[in-house]
Amino acid sequence: MGEQTPSADDHQPLELYVLRGCPYCRRVERRLELLDLEYVTHDVPRRHANRTTVAELSGQTEVPVLVDPNTGLDGLAESSDIVAYLEETYDYPDGVDPNRGLLARLRSFFDFG
């Protein structure tokens, strides 16, 4: 981590593997939105035994799982690790108060709605 922010010119959408209704997945989606990052979601099956793609990417079947083609990141799991990665790798957009990140982190920690 601590990599340089990828150039906007060659930025590809991030990929997020999610289970609809999962509060941890929503936490990551909120951070992606706050950072104004383009991303696509891939819905995974409810049954862990059917999550073969997620298992191949991350070595486990829990979600969320993030893939970042801009940095070569394949299959980062755990919402707190994903949020930390996003904040270390990408800059906040112009006009966004970086202190808002702390408030958003606290909100996402306590608000799973």
Q: What is the pLDDT of residue 27?
A: 95
Asked if residue 85 lies in contact with residue 76, where contact means CB atoms within 8 angstroms, the answer is yes
Asked if residue 88 lies in contact with residue 97, where contact means CB atoms within 8 angstroms, the answer is no
pLDDT at 100 over 80: no
Asked if residue 14 lies in contact with residue 65, where contact means CB atoms within 8 angstroms, the answer is no
**Segment 24-82, tens digit of pLDDT:** 999 999 999 989 999 999 999 999 999 999 999 999 999 999 999 999 999 999 999 99
Q: Indicate whether this model's pTM tops 0.85.
A: no
CATH code given to domain 12-107: 3.40.30.10
Q: What is the pLDDT of residue 11?
A: 85
